[in-house]
Amino acid sequence: MGQTSENFSNRLQAIPPLDPDRVSLIENEGLKVKQLEPLGVEIYGADVRSRLPEPVIEALEVEMANRGFIVFKHQTDLSADELINVSKWWGAHEIHSTHGVHPATPGRNRHIFRCSNDSRHGILGVGPQWHNDGSFEAATFSHSAYYMARAPEQGGGTHFAHQGAAFDALPEDKQEFWQRLVSVNSASSVTHPLVHTHPISGRKSVWLHLGMTGAILERLPEDGMSIEELQKAPATADKFRLLKPDEMKGLFNDYNDLLNASFDEGYGIRYQYDTGDLLYIDNWAVAHRASPEAHLPSEQQGLRIMDRVTIKSKRDLAPHFGLPQYINMNGPHPFNKDGVWQAGGVGFRWKDNIRMQN
């Protein structure tokens, strides 16, 4: 989108800096806190094999919600059980696993999703497009862990974009329109709002899966009703319509452009890992994608091994407007017949020259 006008600057709310009181609480445990720009936090001096005090964990969880992610530095040689145990600090304090297990996974632990650029060591080609983990679930994961068991010599990091700041970056007319949209997952039929209010930060945040969406429903506007009133008002099928193919392409490209613009507009970061980095994202606050370098073959880049763990949310990411959490993508729908309604593992193809895989 590349907006640089004064009007854009006035709309974009800054990603909040670290809270001094929370920093003092964390550093009183002998840790060092480093604020990354424009988002993210690095934590030095921790040994996550030992549980931190509950007030410190709570403070870190709030900072994750505000700034997108935290990184515990220098956590080398974590065992599978140690990685699982620290991951239970967040969200509903329970692991929520939905993936297969690669043969090289430590202990064949079903809660660890091992990614690599070498098929002997992990799953190839994971996450090339902007996405949030577990978008096919009603209770999309609250947090995800990315443990860099072995960092490659030539980059191979992850891109992060703050979805609250991304909403602020939208023109007002698109803010209004996007808040009336609900996505339907092409594989699971789960519905999610395109804009939700983050349960901790309170920020309106965009949310769209670019690789597995089979339909977008628009709640039609009504004269004199605000977005908040529309969200709470009872509605029948005639109050909704499906976006048409050209509208879907426009929306998906706008979303992709919005997150791509994050690096220039101050709400995105290209994070490079060191071996032993343990990074946690708030999965409701930031979208992410693997950097292109992450998928280069190990012969060219050096071996990359990352373990992902996903954490159960305390709540569903529920749609507004009285819509159900699931609308069967394999069945008939009561909406306009010229809109997109596409079931399957990939969903609507909004661009033909990219690989749809997340």
Q: How far apart are CA 52 and CA 74, in angstroms?
A: 16
Helix (H, G, I), strand (E, B) or coil at 163: helix
pLDDT digits (tens, 9 = 90+) for 82-121: 999 999 999 999 999 988 899 999 989 999 999 999 999 9
Q: Find tokens 């009336």 and name the residue.
A: 180
Cα separation, 325 vs 182, whole angstroms: 10
> DSSP state, 151?
-
331-357 residue pLDDT tens: 889 899 899 999 988 889 988 776 555
CB under 8 A, 24+ apart: contacts of 169-177: 169/1, 169/3, 169/8, 169/11, 169/12, 169/258, 169/261, 169/265, 169/267, 170/11, 170/206, 170/258, 172/11, 174/254, 176/227, 177/218
What is the tens place of the pLDDT at every residue in 221-274? Answer: 999 999 999 999 888 999 999 999 999 999 999 999 999 999 999 999 999 999
Interaxial angle between packed helices 20-27 and 54-67, expressed in degrees from 0 to 180 and rounded to the nearest 10 = 140
Give phi and psi for 241, each to the nearest 5: -145, 155
- Which is the CATH superfamily of the domain at 1-358? Clavaminate synthase-like (3.60.130.10)
- What number of residues does the chain have? 358
User: Which of 3, 8, 82, 23 is closest to 48 using CA atoms?
Assistant: 82
| pTM metric for this prediction | 0.93
List the structure tokens of 182: 């609900």
Query: What is the token pair recorded at 235?
Result: 């509605």
Q: Are 300 and 113 in contact (CB under 8 A)?
A: no
Cα 69 to Cα 73, 204, 320: the distances in Å are 13, 17, 27
DSSP assignment of 15-63 = PPPPPHHHHHHHHTTT-EEEE-SSS-EEEES--TTSPPPHHHHHHHHHH
Work out the percent of the chain whose per-residue pLDDT is above 90: 81
- CA dihedral sign, ordered 64, 200, 94, 32: positive
Over residues 129-178, the pLDDT tens digits come to: 899 999 999 999 999 999 999 999 888 899 999 999 999 999 999 999 99
Statement: residue 39 has pLDDT above 90: yes
Q: Are 227 and 176 spatial neighbours (Cβ–Cβ below 8 Å)? A: yes
Q: Are 302 and 166 in contact (CB under 8 A)?
A: no
